Structure 1
């Protein structure tokens, strides 16, 4: 199936020269800013979180659970070190792993106090960037002893590019694929229509079916063999990829769902 994305929201600019991640004295960057506490926070083991992700069928393998939990810890550390910016949560899957950790109330609270010096609050705020779903996450009221915060000022909200650049600077590696939820889409994955930017509508013509927001914003265009599937998606709002009608193959169903996530029309349901 040929899919044409109508916007370029996911095209990523090149990395900036500086990351904005610095310790309190402002004279360092990259992995050197990690003190012993934060390094230990990254190596913290919580097999009960992995078990929960598997039992809730958020993931299909323990390896996937481990990858997601690793990224939760990195996200929390990155948020702690970003003095000037509220770092957005850009993956429904990583956020689901964070929620799984929070469910273990005592262990989660102890983790925050032991390694960060405070409880790690989860304060969701809808992220508006097309193609990247999630919440603005760690609301930090107190700083861990040893990392002072500059004079209090308004902290701007990150963009996905801000997040990626700071992540790659701090951890010295490309942003892992697990931050892109499309990698978790299978025929057994549940999907949700993302209507935060407005309802969706269809238009047919010239062998194509096009998806629009009701304000006229183009989302994507595909071969009209996907018409029944798109009509189903708009009508249902929530569905499993395997349920898509219209005689599509499994690969076509997955490809259509991936394209719709990239364009901001769908989001993955953990």
Structure 2
């Protein structure tokens, strides 16, 4: 099965936050780790991951959470620690930590509320939301119950 989604029309594209060479590396990692995702969709995922990271850094304490697909991009980006740290510093002004919820912990308001907060935060931060990529919240079984941004600024 191949996942291919149409690109929505927009004027603000968060992919522009990421260095073009880094975009290519992240696309390769996403498509390698998730062979059902095509390159065009992986590019959109990377863009939404950049928007998620930027919004998370601006909305500290809001318990934002990526969608399942956007989480692919966030995890790929985090693995490039030097580039990820530089991106966070340049775009947000500080490192945006990946904070998994522990077993039995709940996201405030539940997964749907976290998704709504996150999509709203991305829009408020001035980035286009690719709604097709935000249909389900991430369930990072390798991160216990879910993936979230830094709970505090700093």
- The normalised TM-score by structure 2 is 0.60
| Segments ≥4 residues shifted beyond 4 Å | 172-175
How far apart, CA to CA, are the structure 2 residues paired with 1:162 and 1:89? Answer: 8
Match of 2:19 among 26, 33, 44: 44
- Counterpart secondary structure, 2:93: coil
Comparing both structures, which one devotes a greater share of its residues to strand? 1
For residues 27-66 of structure 1, the aligned pairs below 5 Å read: 42-45=17-20, 46=22, 47-57=24-34, 59-66=36-43
How far apart, CA to CA, are the structure 2 residues paired with 1:69 and 1:169? Answer: 19
Contact 1:69 1:97 in 2 (8 A): yes
| Partner residue, 1:260 | none
1:57 to 1:87, Cα distance in 2 relative to 1, 3 A: same
| Partner residue, 1:106 | 82
How far apart, CA to CA, are the structure 1 residues paired with 2:63 and 2:73? Answer: 17
The Cα RMSD (Å) is: 3.1
| Partner residue, 1:161 | 116
- Counterpart secondary structure, 1:124: strand
1:58 to 1:95, Cα distance in 2 relative to 1, 3 A: farther
Match of 1:129 among 110, 113, 120: 110
The reply to whether residue 75 of structure 1 matches residue 52 of structure 2 is yes
Comparing both structures, which one devotes a greater share of its residues to helix? 2
1:106 to 1:165, Cα distance in 2 relative to 1, 3 A: closer
Number of residue pairs the alignment of both structures matches: 119
State which drifts further: 47-56 or 168-177.
168-177
1:43 to 1:106, Cα distance in 2 relative to 1, 3 A: closer
- Counterpart secondary structure, 1:80: helix
By how many angstroms is 1:129 displaced? 2.3
Contact 1:168 1:175 in 2 (8 A): no
- The normalised TM-score by structure 1 is 0.37
| Partner residue, 1:171 | 126
How far apart, CA to CA, are the structure 1 residues paired with 2:88 and 2:58? Answer: 14
1:74 to 1:58, Cα distance in 2 relative to 1, 3 A: farther
For residues 1-270 of structure 1, the aligned pairs below 5 Å read: 42-45=17-20, 46=22, 47-57=24-34, 59-83=36-60, 85-125=61-101, 127=107, 129=110, 132=112, 159-171=114-126, 173=128, 176-181=131-136
How far apart, CA to CA, are the structure 1 residues paired with 2:56 and 2:64? Answer: 9
